[in-house]
Amino acid sequence: MRVLLSTIGSRGDVQPVVALAAQVKALGHDARVCAPPDFRDQVEGLGIPFTPVGPELRSTGKARPAAGPLTPEQRRWMVEASLAGQFEAVTAAAEGCDVIVAGGYLLLAARTVAERMGVRYVMASYCPAFLPSPHHAPPVYPMLGQEPADGTVDNLTLWARDAQRWNDTWGTPLNAHRASAGLPPVTDVRSHLYTDTPWLAADPTLGPWPTPAELDVVQTGAWILPDERPLSAELEAFLDAGEPPVYFGFGSIGAPQALSKNMIEAARALGRRAIVLRGWADLELPDDEPDCLSIGEVNQQALFQRVAAVVHHGGAGTTTAAARAGAPQVVIPQHVDQHYWAQRVHDLGIGTAHAPGAPTADSLTEALARALEPDLAARAKAVAPAVRTDGAVAAARLLIAADPVETIA
């Protein structure tokens, strides 16, 4: 079997499909990855063929949060350019494949390409919040000018509005591509993309699919790529030089430079050392004092086992890695699914949910102080063993097995 794993987005969107591709390969089948060009080296380093889709994303990482919502003209151009690029890249990458797996929520071309080729299509979400349910509100897209729900409108109404936004944004250009492929138009873009049986690549403890539910969701567990990279000598020396520090990182999303200063002030107010991930926002330390260290890309799976707490933006991957390590968390959500993960961390008692938006030194100090309390740290340690590590294995077996029910049991 030959499988195409494709996605659009930053590291949190790409890492899961790479994990699944690696497991498909380990089971003796062919896997290909179609993703933004930023991740070519990582994918090809695993011996997996790679096809780029869309522009390089890192160069836009700092600009988007400060730029505000897109204008209607910018949105229309972005949608049309994105779809054209997707159809070109996915069509080329899918040649000879038996199944196309779309990871995330913005790969709209994959199902049409699969239909035209007559092959199987699977859509996988990394968070329950992306899938319609009366138990939660839909995710928030700031670039579309949206604000988080204020609780005055019921979830079913919010999901109906969400479906209309999908149609208004993507319907006309998607159907133009389908018409050129000789396929009928779709009237419900979101349902077309998600299918009646979407997969949920999220851990059942951290992000359970609520019941009763309208969708027949297949929850595999999070798709985690094992990381065997050693920590750098500089980082090892810093960790060994004192008590466990606090980790601060916003990954591949943009962040204001003042954030770094506020993070260090919060750690120092509590007598803690700090590690700051530069990330795609290129966060810089406010000074060169020895109680803080700036780092680049790192093995989170190894590092998070040795820190006092993890302060982050609430991406699915970082939330899962911190939970697996038993590290208490402070989640500072910015957009999309991050609000969901912040709430789940709070509800599980394994960390604190900071208010959305840019934190101050005082607000960070308060949230971090709570996360470092012994009862919360103990709860984080207790929940860690329940977080599954075999989600990618289960998903790979589902793709290739004759009896998917047997493989998931």
* Cα 356 to Cα 255: distance, rounded to the nearest angstrom: 13
271, with CB counted inside 10 A (0-12, 13-18, 19+), is exposed
CATH architecture of 233-386: 3-Layer(aba) Sandwich (3.40)
User: What is the domain partition of the chain in residue ranges?
Assistant: 2-224+389-408, 233-386
Which amino acid is present at 194?
Answer: Y
Would you mind telling me the total number of residues written for the chain in this entry?
409
State pTM to two decimals. 0.91
pLDDT at 144 over 60: no
The distance from CA 218 to its chain's CA centroid, rounded to whole angstroms, is 18
Q: What is the pLDDT of residues 185-217, one digit of tens each?
A: 999 999 999 999 999 999 999 999 998 777 899
Q: How many helices (H) and strands (E) does the chain have?
A: 16, 13
| pLDDT at residue 402 greater than cutoff 50 | no
Report the pLDDT averaged over residues 350-369. Answer: 92
What is the topology classification, in CATH, of domain 2-224+389-408?
Rossmann fold (3.40.50)
Beta-carbon contacts of 39 under 8 Å, excluding residues fewer than 6 positions away, are 11, 14, 18, 33, 50
Q: Which residues contact 196 (CB under 8 A, 6 or more apart)?
A: 215, 216
Cα dist from 172 to 8, 186, 188, 212, 272, whole Å: 20, 9, 11, 33, 53
Q: What is the pLDDT of residues 38-83, one digit of tens each?
A: 999 999 999 999 999 988 876 654 434 444 566 777 878 888 888 9
Model pLDDT for residues 219-265, shown as the tens digit of each residue:
999 999 999 999 999 999 999 999 999 999 987 666 665 788 999 99
Is there a common fold for 2-224+389-408 and 233-386?
yes
- Angle of helix 338-348 versus helix 316-325 axis, rounded to 10: 20
The pLDDT assigned to 349 comes to: 97
Q: Is the pLDDT of residue 407 over 50?
A: no
pLDDT at 409: 28
Structure tokens at 195: 């299918």
Residue 350 has pLDDT above 50, yes or no: yes
pLDDT at 271 over 90: yes
The model's confidence at residue 318, banded by pLDDT at 50, 70 and 90, is: very high
Q: What digits encode the pLDDT tens for the residues 100-127?
A: 999 987 789 999 999 999 999 999 999 9
